[in-house]
Each structure stands twice: as structure tokens, then as C-alpha cells.
Amino acid sequence: MKNFKMPNTGFIEKLKELDTDSLLYRVMPLFIMEIMEKYFRLTIEGEENIPHAGRAIFTPNHSGYSGFDAMMLLHTIQQHTQQAPKVLTHHLWFLTKTTSIPANKLGFIEATKQNALKELKKNRQIILFPEGEYGNFKPSFDAYSLQEFKRGFIRIAIEANAPIIPTIIIGAEETHINLKQLKLTKYLRGLVLPLPLNIIPLPAKWKIIFLPPIHLPYKANECSNSELMNETAQDIREMMQIRIQKELKNRKSIYF
């Protein structure tokens, strides 16, 4: 009969000491993300652009309706900095305690300017998707086509004196396929939802690229200049779109 090794007893004892919250919101997510990292064969580029301390705004493209992009990015940053950035998230997650409590414990906060500035002024880092839900809920035939960037992240960066770190995520678009974007604005202002093809994530190869930090030279009183804010946001969008196209051109395969 085969001899099977028993798990390390010290590890088991440590697990027993954990309370339910620690197990559900710290240990289990870490375990799942480690598995998903291998499943997606994740590669990282530009680690040197991740600040190990101090305030910063990571601005990734938003793709794949499931929100895996947010979780994988949060996990990647935490691995490199030993601190977990807060993820600015759609307000629908915070309408009831059933969703808001677990969201908060996993590191998600409602996407408001006030919440972003509060975190940054504590010298913390945040993840902010400039496209909003229009990015990850777009139909897959528009994959990797960046939607309009909202100007709010530019104002936040200026007011908090925080660098912007443009971040590219390749692979999430092919992990979850979205057939259509459902606009339900007549029921709730700005409400859009996906019409997904698959729930189980497909094994697309992922790559996360951290581009060099952008330090905006503007003063807080210039935030009222809508034209300047819009031009700056669209310049960053264009720069990210060019890099995305370059990555797609050089990608050898999607799944294998």
C-alpha cells in the first residue's frame, strides 16, 4: 500500500486558529488566486514600475465581465508590495449588506471621488478602471477596444498628488466571452449589464504590464478646466491603446 504524506501539522493548527472572516476573506481568496495564476499562466512585465510604498493610482483596461481582472491585478500588486490596494467598484455592489460586506472585506470600495481621495491621502494605493463598467461589459467583438475614459481619475490624481500607473491586462477578454451589452438605463440611470456566453473561465494566457508612472504637472485649481482634464485622460487612453495593439500583434497564441 502506498505511503501518503500527512499535511504539516503546524499548518493545520494555524488554520484552526483562524476565525471565519480570516479564512473566507484572506486565506481562501489567496489560495484561489494562486490557482488561477497558474491556470492563466500569468506573466508580468514592468514590475519595476510598481511602487512599494506611498500613494498611487493603477489604471487598467477593464475586460472580461466577471471582474477577474480586478482580482488578479489586486493579487499581483499585493505579491509585489505586501499591501493590498483598494479596488474602486460599481455602486451596485453596495446597495445591500449581502454584497457590500463581503465586497469591503475583499478590498473593494464604492467608486466615488471621496473614497479614492480618502485612501490616497492615507498614502495607500488604489485600482481605478477609467472605462467603468462600459469596459468589461462591452461585447467581445469589441475586445481590447478601449471605451471612453472618464475624467475623474485625472482630477483625483492631481488633487491627491498621486502618480498614475497605466496598466495593461491581456487575456481577460478571452477568459469570459460577452455576447452583448444590455442597457437598462430606463430602470436605473447608467445601468448596463453583460449577456455572457460562458461562466466557467476559459484558459486564456494572461499578461499584466505595468507602464511607467505618470506624474501630472497640474495644480488643483486646474481641475476645473474640463478641456484639459479630457485631453489628459484621452492622451493616456491613446497611449494604452497603442500598447495593447502592440501586445496583441506580438501574441503568439491565446489559449495554447
Using alpha carbons only, what angle is made at residue 87 by residues 112 and 151, rounded to the nearest 5 degrees?
Answer: 45
Residue 41's region, left for phi above 0, alpha for psi from -120 to 50, else beta, is left
Residue 9 — very low, low, confident or very high, per pLDDT cuts 50/70/90?
Answer: low
Contact status, residue 211 vs residue 235, Cβ threshold 8 Å: no
Residue 256 lies in a domain: no
Q: Which residues pair with 56 in a beta bridge?
A: 125
Could you read off the pLDDT of 188-217 as tens digits, one per residue?
A: 666 778 888 999 999 999 999 999 999 999
Lowest-confidence range among 15-29, 74-88, 108-122?
15-29
Residue 212 lies in a domain: yes
Could you read off the pLDDT of 148-176 as tens digits, one per residue?
A: 999 999 999 999 999 999 999 999 999 99
62: Cβ contacts below 8 Å, ≥ 6 apart: 69, 129, 131, 132, 133, 135, 136
Output phi, psi for 18, to 5 deg.
Answer: -75, 140
Q: Which one-letter DSSP state was computed for residue 49?
A: G
- Round to whole Å and give the CA distance between 113 and 59: 15
* Cell digits of residue 249: 500583434
Comparison of pLDDT for 47 and 12, the residue scoring more = 47
The helix/strand/coil state of 163 is coil
Total tally of structural domains belonging to the chain: 1
Taking residues 27-51, report their average pLDDT. Answer: 92
Residue 1 lies in a domain: no
Amino acid residing at 19: D
Residue 3 lies in a domain: no
Residue 6 lies in a domain: no
Residue 46's closest CA among 255, 254, 243? 243
Could you read off the pLDDT of 209-243 as tens digits, one per residue?
A: 999 999 999 999 999 999 999 999 999 999 999 99
* Cell digits of residue 70: 480586478
> For the CA atoms of 106, 179, 171, 107, what is the dihedral angle to 10 degrees?
-10
Q: Which domain holds residue 69?
A: 19-249
Q: What percent of the chain has pLDDT over 70?
A: 87
Contact status, residue 42 vs residue 77, Cβ threshold 8 Å: no
Residue 240 lies in a domain: yes
What is the model's pLDDT at position 1? Answer: 44
- Round to whole Å and give the CA distance between 198 and 188: 26
- Round to whole Å and give the CA distance between 199 and 197: 7
Using alpha carbons only, what angle is made at residue 172 by residues 169 and 177, rounded to the nearest 5 degrees?
Answer: 150
* CATH number of 192's domain: 3.40.1130
Residue 101 — very low, low, confident or very high, per pLDDT cuts 50/70/90?
Answer: confident
Pairing outcome for strands 108-110 and 86-89 = parallel
Amino acid residing at 20: T
Residue 138 lies in a domain: yes
Residue 159 lies in a domain: yes
What is the model's pLDDT at position 4? Answer: 46
